[in-house]
Amino acid sequence: MHELVKEFTERQEEMVSFLAHLVELESPSVDKAAVDRLGDFLACRLERAGFHVRVVGQKEHGNHIVATWQQEEPSLLMLCHMDTVWPVGEVKRRPFRVEGNRAYGPGVFDMKGGIVQAIFALEAARRRGLCSSTVKILFNSDEEIGSPSSRSLIEDLARSAKAVLVLEPSVPPQGALKTFRKGVGMFRIKVVGRAAHAGADPDKGVNAIEELARQIIKLHRLTDPETGTTVNVGVVRGGSRSNVVPAEAWAEVDLRVSSKAEAERVIPLIKGLLPELPGATVEVEGGLNRPPMERTESIVALFRHAQRVARELGFELEEAGSGGASDGNFTAALGVPTLDGLGAVGAGGHAVDEYLLLNFMPERTALLTRLLETL
């Protein structure tokens, strides 16, 4: 067993204890006070380890934490998000627990397990003194809701980075790293018709729900399995009473695309929707929230490097992709080599049965340590 894997195996109980504490520090995206409690805890830990910590204050969202080791550029940038999809109180319903090789709890897989691995790897790399690069790590507070307050910070940090390491969960079941991700578009469709009595004067009305239904059919026809493009109308609202021809209706639409070219093709089709019923109007708001993370030569080269490091540590790595997006999409779109999925190995992100496989924690933490030392 490699010395680093052995070290983290011997410290696994300490890592699990730290993970339990992170899970208990609940941090839903929409609860600033809760996210800030976790941020303060992480900032104190990194300050004690000798990192320079900067708190980037936010009014509506949780504060973002940037920790730096050394000051020269370019840097290695690590990305972690502190927020989860779970509300405060969820941990009382589903407390952190360990059953055999699995750890369960809200956010344990996405992505507090990745935070544990990042912290332990950073501390080990600093102690070992083999890293010659500047290392920066960002803990942002709003990734799960699209990173509205942290995107510009992520992009600013990435522009001076030679590589970006993203501590999002790996791809189940064997923990493949992510070399590509789909881009995400978010749209809101509003249809306006004309109200009328559904029994006495139906012909005088313009049914906004009918118009929206026609638009939904057109939207779903844009899904193309060959290109990987998917369009999903996930939320629909409209009308007031069953005996009134509805005057208004709304829909929220999710778009996933694998390439910039496909985004440029599909988005104008969505934004250019035209009404079919006389007297109806259709308004479309929104656009691309996260650009695609395409599998470029530089990303593949970064993965191949990680693969070689993993073999030196005694295990194999595979690559895969995801229909979901992360903050790595932003950095990859800038042309910065980005490797995603370096966090927890497990399954069930955003589900009540999410879990982390404990036996992978030592080797994945060792991998991250050696990446910091060899990039």
Residue 71 pLDDT > 80: no
Where are the chain's structural domains?
Answer: 3-181+293-374, 183-290
CB neighbour list of residue 253: distance below 8 Å, 6 or more residues apart:
185, 186, 187, 188, 189, 219, 231, 232, 233, 234, 270, 286
Would you tell me how many other CB atoms lie within 10 Å of the CB of residue 100?
8
Average pLDDT (239-267) is 97
Token pair for residue 329? 């999409």
Residue whose token pair is 């992520």: 154
Q: What pLDDT score was predicted for residue 21?
A: 98
Average pLDDT (322-341) is 97
Q: What is the pTM of this model?
A: 0.93
What percent of the chain is modeled with pLDDT above 70? 100
317 residue type, one letter? L
| 129 burial level (CB within 10 Å; 0-12, 13-18, 19+) | exposed
Burial state string for 53-84 with b = 16 or more CB within 10 A and e = fewer than 16: beeeebeebbbbbbbbbeeeeebbbbbbbbbb
Burial state string for 187-216 with b = 16 or more CB within 10 A and e = fewer than 16: bebbbbbbbbeeeeeeeebbbbbbbbbbbb
Q: What pLDDT score was predicted for residue 74?
A: 86
Residue whose token pair is 């009134």: 244
Alpha helices (runs of H) in the chain, residue ranges in sequence order: 3-10, 12-24, 32-48, 90-93, 113-128, 151-159, 208-220, 260-271, 297-313, 328-333, 361-374
- Determine the Cα angle at 256 with ends 254 and 260, to 5°: 130
Fold agreement between 3-181+293-374 and 183-290: no
Q: Cα separation of 137 and 310, whole Å? A: 22
Confidence of residue 70 (pLDDT cuts 50, 70, 90): confident
Residues 173-205 have pLDDT tens digits of 999 999 999 999 999 999 999 999 999 999 999
Q: Is 3.30.70.360 the CATH classification of the domain at 183-290? A: yes
Residues 112-148 have pLDDT tens digits of 999 999 999 999 999 999 998 999 999 999 999 999 9
- Determine the Cα angle at 85 with ends 101 and 293, to 5°: 85
SS3 string, 26-40, reads CCECCCHHHHHHHHH
Average pLDDT (149-173) is 97
Alpha helices (runs of H) in 278-327, residue ranges in sequence order: 297-313
Which three-class secondary structure state does DSSP give residue 284?
A: strand
Average pLDDT (278-294) is 97
Q: In this structure, are residues 80 and 169 in contact, taking their beta carbons and an 8 Å threshold?
A: no
**CATH number belonging to domain 3-181+293-374:** 3.40.630.10
Average pLDDT (206-231) is 97
Q: Cα separation of 57 and 77, whole Å? A: 20
CB neighbour list of residue 301: distance below 8 Å, 6 or more residues apart:
337
Phi/psi of residue 221, nearest 5 degrees: -70, -15
Q: In this structure, are residues 318 and 143 in contact, taking their beta carbons and an 8 Å threshold?
A: no
Phi/psi of residue 227, nearest 5 degrees: -90, -10
